[in-house]
Amino acid sequence: MQEATFLLRPVRDPPYVLRIEECLPPAVAGCFAASRLRRHDDGAVTMTGSHAVVVGGGIGGLSAALALHRRGWRVTVLERAPELREIGAGLTLMANAMRGLDALGLGPAVRRSGHSETPGGIRTSTGRWLSRVDGEAMTRLLGTTALGIHRATLHRLLREALPTTALHTGTEVIDVVTGPADAEVRYHRDGTPDAVRADLVVGADGVHSVVRTRRWRQSPPPAYAGSTAWRAAIEWPEPVPSAITWGRGSEFGMVPLGDGRVYWFGAVNAPPGGHTADELETCRKLFGTWHDPIPALLAATAPEAVLRNDILHLAAPLPSYVRGRVVLLGDAAHAMTPNLGQGAGQAIEDAVVLGAVCAAGADESLPTALAAYDAQRRPRSQAIARAAFRTGRYGQQLRNPLAVAARNTLIRLTPARTAVRAMARYADWQPPAAA
């Protein structure tokens, strides 16, 4: 919808978004059902299209904002941090995530910025291969390759695809109120309370989602999955495989990022809340005697580059991702353990589907569109979350020596083609035809 400007005399103080449907004859009001008038300081009023507020400026939130923006929605992203940036290290974008980014128009840029997955697999701490993954076979099966990329790089590409006026930092959301026709987000900015109304509110504010807490009051809080993890992205000029190494109740993984860097991560069974003065030294004690190049990767890591986080997930699946004009996506909806490498991919899928079903804007069909989003996304994302948790239980978290030996033998005896197909089923997803 093109913008139209009207010169009207100001009639009231902020908020500046005025409804005019009730002031128009019925035959005309329908044309404005999904529109708003925004009054400027000079008294001019601009008619804009449907408006969505996205709470959270991470990968899922920016993906949702971009998906809606490409469908003609006016989007506002509210991020609590003082600046929009993605902290963390690297991630793997499986074929489903890459298809989602293709649908958002970012596939080519992401491929130029990341590193196509190299052959890899699973090893023991001595370096013995339990299973090898043929990257080319996976690509042939799924039609596109997986990719390693730094989180900050993907975040920047998403951010640059949005209007700068859509991004608002330093806004701490404290409540969301929804009605039959719109919703209101209440927040603090620079210590001052404020609010914004929108046709749609997207809760993309992570595992500790305020939106989920306020609108899904019966939902239990995130649960500790039983493991703590360290991660870092470092300069590393030599090629490494995309591989995971399992010990007893522990694992270490590495992913090339394509810009002269490697992302590594380690995880162990541990009580929650633990921290040490030197997390890198802790990693050296845990993994420093494992096979090459793990000791060398740790030796090349600066202590300040290491991040440590307990692994949390939503152990109790939500009964719906939709409440009125409020929807959840990404970790806010289905926070999962990282054992399938699908956290970011599922958030991107959420965003693409949300944009597709909301293509008609905030008209009378929006409730039906949001129900379609819930029906398409909740079963798949929750099934993958369950599978990720199970994978962690028999993978990284397995400690009993007899159970470990039996698992390793079973993996070694599994044909490579069967292993590839088992992995591929989680990445086998196509965006909606309208995307």
Q: How far apart are CA 223 and CA 207, in angstroms?
A: 10
pTM: 0.87
| Res 435: pLDDT | 57
Tokens 């700068």, located at residue? 164
Q: Give the Cα-Cα-Cα angle 385, 390, 393 (nearest 5 degrees).
A: 130
Tell me the average pLDDT of the chain.
Answer: 87
pLDDT confidence of residue 434: 62
Among 4-13, 58-67, 83-92, 131-140, name the one with the lowest average pLDDT.
Answer: 4-13
- Reference 120, options 397, 420, 390; nearest CA is 420
Alpha carbon 435 to its chain centroid, in Å, reads 18
**From CA 134, how far away is CA 402, in angstroms rounded?**
29
Of the candidates 207, 208, 262, 260, the residue with the CA atom closest to the CA atom of residue 231? 262
% of the chain surpassing 90 pLDDT: 75
DSSP-derived secondary structure letter, 53: E
CB 173 within 8 A of CB 26: no
Name the pLDDT band for 7 (thresholds 50, 70, 90): very low
Q: What angle do CA 257, 307, 128 make, to 5 degrees?
A: 60
For residue range 63-104, list pLDDT tens digits in order: 999 999 999 999 999 999 998 776 678 999 999 999 999 999
Q: Using one digit for the tens of pLDDT, what is the confidence trace for 234-286? A: 999 998 988 999 999 999 999 999 888 999 999 999 999 999 999 999 999 99
Q: How confident is the model at residue 41 (pLDDT cuts 50, 70, 90)?
A: very low
**What one-character DSSP code corresponds to residue 375?**
H
Q: Measure the N-to-C terminal CA separation of the chain; round to a whole number of Å.
A: 19
Rounded to the nearest 10°, the torsion over CA 360, 364, 369, 370 is: 120
Cβ-count burial of 331 within 10 angstroms (0-12 exposed, 13-18 middle, 19+ buried)?
A: buried
Bond into 431 cis (ω within 30): no
User: Any idea what DSSP says for residue 249?
Assistant: S
- For residue 286, CA distances in Å to 248, 272, 299, 399 come to 11, 17, 13, 15
